[in-house]
Structure 1
Amino acid sequence: MKLVKWLFYSLIIAIVLGSITVGGMYLYYKDELPSVAELRDVSWQTPMQVYSVDGEMIAQFGEIRRIPVALEDVPQPLIDAFLATEDQRFYQHFGIDPIGVSRALFQMVTTGEIQGGGSTITQQLARNFYLTFEQTLTRKAKEAFIALRLEQQLEKDEILELYLNKIAFGHRAHGIGAAAQVYYGKSLDELTLGQMAMIAGLPKAPSTMNPISRPERAKARRAVVLGRMLAEDKITEAQYQAALAEPIETKLHGAEVTMDAPYLAEMVRAEMVARYGEDVAYNSGMKVYTTTSAKQQQAAQRAVQLNLHGYDERHGYRGVEARLWERESERPTDLDLVAEVARFEAIGMTVPALVTAITETDATLLFANGTQEVMNWRGMAWARPYMHAERQGEPPEKVSDIFSPGAIIRVRATEQGWRLAQVPEPSAALVALRPQDGAVAAAVGGYSFAVSQFNRAIQAKRQSGSNIKPFVYSAALDNGFTLATLVNDAPINQWNPGSGIAWRPRNSPDVYEGPIRVREALAKSKNVVSVRLLRAMGVDTVVEHMTKFGFDYNELPRNESLSLGSASMTPLEVARGYAVFANGGYLVEPYFISRIVDNEGNELYRARPTVACAECYPADADVVQAPQVISEQNAFLVTQAMNSAVWGGGSWAHKTGWNGTAWRVQRSKPITQAVGRNIVGKTGTTNDSKDTWFSGFVSGLVATGWVGFDNLERALGRTTMHPKLSREEQPISGAEAGAKTALPMWIEFMEVAVQEVEAAPFQVPPGLVSARIDLETGKLSRASDYTTRFEYFIPGTAPTEYVDTKSSPTIFGDDDSIF
């Protein structure tokens, strides 16, 4: 009895001393314990997401990947997996599990160290939000006290929801929503039981037990979770066995991107970091909505890639990417061929494939996913050997002329089947603006962001070539010239005493027509006419006028080469300049972010664009009137001349018809059916075809395309017709130029983009007059046949003499000593 009494009193004393100790520790740490009320309004550290204007996800940026989910949206088996593994008495205990604590104390007594384990889900949540992971008695005490507070102030379901969204799962995934996406590329309701068990097992050691880094350890941990679920009667034996047999198939998945636009995404990322700093931009869960539509952006990317493949194919095949064996007798029998193919990455439209067998007319291909398919002769007949930029080899007669089994090649999918491909060598850019407010409708800075992150749409300053001429002609129309003015299209020979050489600007092609009207000269892109116009006005006058279009005064050359496009500009700068013609003379500011919202949907920012017509918007619209930099009349007249670049003039029936440099647009039924003849554009080609351009617009959309090599010394070269292909299969040959190299890309894009653009005709602005002129002399005409046309004039500039008078027409540049 004495022993029983002694034990009883000892227990009472221990309880009292324990209570005093716990109470003392609570009072000691009380002021250090955080308030848990803020957890009800927790702001998750979530990545920034970028969307198109129509809600397609373009990109996700952030150090932590998190997809917050509500508890009611979590599948019950996934909840069961966590509870069975981490805290099976979660809904019974008060935040601390006495059994788990006893086990932890026993481990401490027997080992002399504080071991892991024993923590409830509530304690883990406390540690994740407020504490470190150090194994100390102080941290354990604080963890217990915070857990008790959590249980007092939050419901059990609230605690579990916070836990499931907070904990780390490895590979920067935090929360179960992100874990499902990162490891399986799925939403929670798409997971299998085995996958749920895998995720539930990760919190124990997310870096060393995840199925990507350590698949064998992850498989063992999954078995533990499934065993706990079976023991708790949460799954049947059959479910247990089936889930246990599931293969460990996983890989690192990116965000749920539904629209591929990496160059645009990088533009947004850089802008957001500049505005908010990296921490806020990457981790506060902001959603950024761009001005681009998914349809137009994807059309631009496809146009850039297809156009570069077209260039690459007509210049010839540069050879296979690698070889696994040379002769059939050397073919290895122990080599994992699928794994070998998988070493090569897909780039742009191209995917790697291994040639396993060939006949004279087709090739059997093995892909990285293990599938085998056949590529027929039509998909590789183009592959003449590439010699250099100016020359291609003889066309192949059979497949073995191109490659043999053992070759790693690249192919791309087409409607006709697989097509032999290669990663294009040149670069390209395409940018489109809505001219009324400067919103970026599409922006592509190269063939593949994976190959080069340099965004040529906004960063590459390249010589503009004849793309600059509309601005020179605009200056001319403000300085006494009209669309009917005759200018001498004849060779120029100007001796430069300083350099001791003569400057001889040439037309391209090297054809001269004598006196030519300004409209026709711009449509045909006559170089010498552009030089003579600049001479008549003076370089300074043209430079001052060009600054009205947003071009930097200090970057414009102060010599006559300016008239031929020696100034270097980015595609975005050029598109902005053309937008002035498209919107009636207003200089708008390009922008690509329409609005930004925080993680709760509150709007943080909405664009306040400069617009060409503020009165066209509702009274409560937050817009700014753009400055009018040229007259509406001037803009219309230049537009008219560029319209002739597309449609030409004269009478083909009377053998006086002629084409402008952009005549290929006429062949595009999708564009012409959508907007009729309301299409304008201008080609551009620099010396030696190092830069090729096309800029143009329809009502509501202006686009500029550029093609060239990043290496400024490389020219785009020329090609001969492939003797084995039809004109339909290879529509372009000869010297590369804006009309052949850049214009097809613009057409490809516009054929899709015009479907979202209002088809409106170009309206004649007030203040213009029209008069019938003689096409040969530019004088007034009383005739009404093919030798005449109606022309537009600013009042006071129309000709006053009729063609039947005896006086000779005035021809600017007829005297080279003056012009």
Structure 2
Amino acid sequence: MEAEIKIKKKWRNIRLLSYIALLMIILIFIMFISFVIYLKILGPPPLTIPESSLYYTSDETVFGESHNGERRYWIGLENISPAAIQATLSIEDQTFYQHHGFDVKRIGGAVLANIKAGQKVQGASTITQQYARNLFLTMDKTWTRKISEAIYAARLEFHYDKGQILEGYLNTINFGHGAYGIEAASQYYFGKSSKELTLAEASMLMGIPKGPSIYSPLRSEEKAKRRQKLILDSMQENGYIEAEEAKRATNEQLTYIGKHPHHRADIAPYFYDMVQKELKTTVGLDDRVIALGGLQIYTTLDAEQQIIAEEIVDQVIPNSSDIQVGFAAMDPKTGFVTAMIGGRNYEESAFNRASQAVRQPGSTIKPFLYYAALEHGFTPATQLRSEKTTFEYDHGKSKYSPHNFNNRYADDEITMAQALAVSDNIYAVKTHLFLGEEVLANTVKNFGIQSEMKPVPSLALGTSGLKLMELLNGYSMFANGGKKVEPTFIKRVEDRNGKVLYEAKPNQEQILNPQLAFVMSHMMMGMFDHRLNGYASVTGTSLAGKMSRDYAGKSGSTNTDYWMAGFTPGLASVVWTGYDQGDEITLTADKLYAKNIWLQFMERSIEHQPEEQHIFKPPAGVEAVPMDPENGLWATDMCPTFRLTYFLKGTAPEEFCTEHLLGL
């Protein structure tokens, strides 16, 4: 009886233990399902991390970057050297592809080793756990942090595949010296892409994250080599390499660069600042996204043209001079700004004289005036008298007495073509007053000039200030046949995954009359043509003998500002020189800087470009007439000189010159 009771009691205990075990299994299963549901509800953890934004020139070469001190360039797993991947798996997580975020066997081994040593001597974090730590967590050693790390690791394994996790890990680890991620490290230590790493280089690099301040070969090559050998031995044990390969890699002499590949605007710092501004105002991004969003910013900068411009400015203006410079170049067909200089020394002054300074343009305003005159019936042959004149305006209440350079006048009638070429001020003011002062003030708006223009007689001589970029924009419209353009600095912006966030779309709206735009451009070529010499020489005399092709342009000056602006159909540029504080320019040599910089830039920039894109081609609706430059009449064989001059069809002179016939 007693034995029977014992047996019943035993079976009752077995059933109780079975029920408890089953209950525990059910609870564990419920907890597991709940945890899976929890992970599902939480969704995939975001993988966004601070990443350098890179700035590219027009040929997609990096010329600058922005970051917060951590240089990181995200790169796909397929673009990482297999040796680097194998070295990582061997030294950091040999069972990476077998576990689900946690290596239980490795954790147990680490616990035993640490207990035996009485201190932490071995870690057990998997690549997934380390990635979670790099992405989301601080480095404190609390239990809260460890639990959070475990949850993040589980979320990573639940929502991302192994390739994505390994790629993320390799792009986030710290290699010291401000290099984060395998690509930044490869560029810093070896000056090459991580795809090109050799076995020796890869094994050296992958030893650094264990302790960048200890195992960086730039700090201690001896310790770095010991760490490298440990990794090579591990790779051999795991079957990734043969013993002979490990030996060769160990003995390979490595050369270290120790320099980050990109800096804040290696060239064109003023252009870089303009891009930063456009990213905010035009693209609509905030400062943090711009600096740390891993953006790929493709700009319009032509590196060759920028270098040419910087070299020429340095060569033309002596270091001892305090004269400043503003410069910009543009593709007239698109509005793409290809080069920019905002001053002679960015470190001393970041003020951009090409985009921010408002200066009097002087006679460079005249092409806009004469375009308006063409619209109102003037032609290149229209004559007005050039003589010392005092103009009365405002119903006779005010007087204005402009003068020509050196107070020289024709004291006779001259054509508009010649007036522009020699920059006659009397002709310009007469034209301005004939049209009405409001006409020029309104016309410049069609050329993209937003600066306020005061409708006064002196406006014809450029007394209302404007910005260099506005003048460049206006001249580009002459060059492209009258189509609307706007200064554009950014072609395209992509996020780190290649998604296009912004793309420039040039506006090709026809604003000007294309025939009149060409007639005006051809008249602007006259400043370099000695056949338009009259009572004074054409203003481009000093440049004409140095030109290898046709250019259209106009110079301008005040007591404090000297300008040269001009173009071909394929390239436009503007130069301003002067003192920041508006001091008068007195030395003759100082007055020539703008012209010399402009011509040298144009000549060198166009030198290796197809000639076809820089040829002025007359559109339909214009006709060329051999005009006597002195009287604007159709030149005959008896005329001492003539210039082929373009007119709107139906407006060319019909009367032949008779002044030079024999016997007269």
| Residue in structure 1 matched with residue 538 of structure 2 by the alignment | 660
**Aligned 8 A contact 1:492 1:505 in 2:** yes
**Aligned 8 A contact 1:693 1:743 in 2:** no
| Residue in structure 1 matched with residue 66 of structure 2 by the alignment | 61
Partner AA of 1:48 in structure 2: S
Partner AA of 1:101 in structure 2: I
1:601 aligns with 2:498: yes
Secondary structure of the residue aligned to 1:695 is strand
| Residue in structure 2 matched with residue 429 of structure 1 by the alignment | 326
How many Å apart are 1:634 and its aligned residue? Answer: 2.9
Partner AA of 2:562 in structure 1: T
Decide which of 567, 575, 583 is 1:697's aligned counterpart: 567
Partner AA of 2:107 in structure 1: V
Change beyond 3 A, Cα 1:98–1:803:
closer
1:94 and 1:739 mapped to 2: Cα distance?
A: 68
Secondary structure of the residue aligned to 2:577 is strand
How many Å apart are 1:517 and its aligned residue? Answer: 1.9
Partner AA of 1:486 in structure 2: Q
**Aligned 8 A contact 1:446 1:456 in 2:** yes
2:628 and 2:88 mapped to 1: Cα distance?
A: 87
| Residue in structure 1 matched with residue 7 of structure 2 by the alignment | none
Decide which of 267, 273, 288 is 2:297's aligned counterpart: 288
| Residue in structure 1 matched with residue 582 of structure 2 by the alignment | 713
TM-score normalised per structure 1: 0.65
Partner AA of 1:61 in structure 2: S
| Residue in structure 1 matched with residue 639 of structure 2 by the alignment | 785
2:340 and 2:196 mapped to 1: Cα distance?
A: 34
Decide which of 625, 634, 639 is 2:516's aligned counterpart: 634
Secondary structure of the residue aligned to 1:589 is coil
Identity of aligned residues (%): 31
Secondary structure of the residue aligned to 1:736 is helix
1:220 aligns with 2:227: no
- Superposed CA offset, 1:40-82 (max 9, x none): x966764433333433333333445433444454435434543
Which structure shows the higher helix fraction? Answer: 2
**Aligned 8 A contact 2:383 2:416 in 1:** yes
- Superposed CA offset, 1:131-154 (max 9, x none): 543323344345446656766776
Q: Which moved more, 1:748-757 or 1:183-192?
A: 748-757
Question: What is the root-mean-square deviation of aligned Cα atoms in Å?
Answer: 4.5
How many Å apart are 1:520 and its aligned residue? Answer: 0.9
How many Å apart are 1:682 and its aligned residue? Answer: 0.9
Decide which of 609, 613, 616 is 1:758's aligned counterpart: 613
- Superposed CA offset, 1:301-325 (max 9, x none): 313432332221xxxx75xxxxxxx
1:557 and 1:111 mapped to 2: Cα distance?
A: 86
**Aligned 8 A contact 2:312 2:597 in 1:** no
Decide which of 343, 348, 353 is 1:456's aligned counterpart: 353
Secondary structure of the residue aligned to 1:718 is coil
1:514 and 1:588 mapped to 2: Cα distance?
A: 41
**Aligned 8 A contact 2:52 2:67 in 1:** yes
How many Å apart are 1:187 and its aligned residue? Answer: 1.5
2:141 and 2:28 mapped to 1: Cα distance?
A: 19
1:707 and 1:230 mapped to 2: Cα distance?
A: 65
2:326 and 2:71 mapped to 1: Cα distance?
A: 31
1:517 aligns with 2:395: no
Decide which of 256, 277, 286 is 1:270's aligned counterpart: 277
Change beyond 3 A, Cα 1:131–1:743:
closer
- Superposed CA offset, 1:230-284 (max 9, x none): 46646668557636x767x453413399994443333223222341223444444
2:52 and 2:340 mapped to 1: Cα distance?
A: 23
Where in structure 1 are there 5+ consecutive unaligned residues?
Answer: 1-11, 319-388, 390-424, 612-625, 720-733, 806-819
Decide which of 464, 471, 474 is 1:574's aligned counterpart: 471
**Aligned 8 A contact 1:47 1:60 in 2:** yes
1:131 and 1:774 mapped to 2: Cα distance?
A: 82
2:532 and 2:455 mapped to 1: Cα distance?
A: 36
Partner AA of 1:277 in structure 2: D
Change beyond 3 A, Cα 1:439–1:494:
same
Partner AA of 2:272 in structure 1: A
**Aligned 8 A contact 1:469 1:564 in 2:** yes
2:62 and 2:368 mapped to 1: Cα distance?
A: 38
How many Å apart are 1:757 and its aligned residue? Answer: 5.6
- Superposed CA offset, 1:502-530 (max 9, x none): 96534335433322222111111123332
**Aligned 8 A contact 1:696 1:704 in 2:** yes
How many Å apart are 1:573 and its aligned residue? Answer: 0.7
| Residue in structure 1 matched with residue 527 of structure 2 by the alignment | 645
Secondary structure of the residue aligned to 2:607 is helix
1:229 aligns with 2:126: no
1:151 and 1:787 mapped to 2: Cα distance?
A: 86
| Residue in structure 1 matched with residue 488 of structure 2 by the alignment | 591
1:251 aligns with 2:251: no
Change beyond 3 A, Cα 1:67–1:472:
same
| Residue in structure 2 matched with residue 747 of structure 1 by the alignment | 602
How many Å apart are 1:600 and its aligned residue? Answer: 3.5
Change beyond 3 A, Cα 1:606–1:75:
closer
**Aligned 8 A contact 1:650 1:657 in 2:** no
Partner AA of 1:695 in structure 2: A
Decide which of 438, 449, 464 is 1:540's aligned counterpart: 438
Where in structure 2 are there 5+ consecutive unaligned residues?
Answer: 1-16, 660-664
| Residue in structure 2 matched with residue 723 of structure 1 by the alignment | none
1:51 aligns with 2:60: no
Secondary structure of the residue aligned to 1:227 is helix
Secondary structure of the residue aligned to 2:613 is coil
Change beyond 3 A, Cα 1:664–1:509:
same
- 1:2-401 matches, within 5 Å, as 33=39, 38=44, 46-63=51-68, 65-88=71-94, 90=96, 95-98=101-104, 100-102=106-108, 104-105=110-111, 117-129=123-135, 131-141=137-147, 143-144=149-150, 147=153, 159-191=165-197, 195-206=201-212, 208-209=213-214, 211=216, 215-216=218-219, 220=223, 223-230=226-233, 233=236, 238-239=247-248, 242=251, 249-255=256-262, 260-274=267-281, 275-292=284-301, 294=302, 297-312=303-318, 318=320
How many Å apart are 1:164 and its aligned residue? Answer: 1.6
Secondary structure of the residue aligned to 2:355 is coil
2:531 and 2:273 mapped to 1: Cα distance?
A: 44
Aligned residues: 628
Partner AA of 1:278 in structure 2: D
**Aligned 8 A contact 1:650 1:787 in 2:** no
2:643 and 2:235 mapped to 1: Cα distance?
A: 91
1:777 and 1:153 mapped to 2: Cα distance?
A: 84
Q: Which moved more, 1:694-703 or 1:170-179?
A: 170-179
**Aligned 8 A contact 2:563 2:577 in 1:** yes
- Superposed CA offset, 1:330-387 (max 9, x none): xxxxxxxxxxxxxxxxxxxxxxxxxxxxxxxxxxxxxxxxxxxxxxxxxxxxxxxxxx
**Aligned 8 A contact 2:331 2:338 in 1:** yes
**Aligned 8 A contact 1:776 1:787 in 2:** no
Secondary structure of the residue aligned to 2:531 is coil
How many Å apart are 1:786 and its aligned residue? Answer: 2.1
**Aligned 8 A contact 2:471 2:574 in 1:** yes
| Residue in structure 2 matched with residue 382 of structure 1 by the alignment | none
Secondary structure of the residue aligned to 2:357 is coil
2:416 and 2:161 mapped to 1: Cα distance?
A: 80
| Residue in structure 1 matched with residue 461 of structure 2 by the alignment | 564
Partner AA of 2:209 in structure 1: P
**Aligned 8 A contact 2:44 2:155 in 1:** no
1:97 and 1:788 mapped to 2: Cα distance?
A: 92
**Aligned 8 A contact 2:309 2:339 in 1:** no
- Superposed CA offset, 1:400-454 (max 9, x none): xxxxxxxxxxxxxxxxxxxxxxxxx443333233333433344343445455433
1:54 and 1:117 mapped to 2: Cα distance?
A: 47
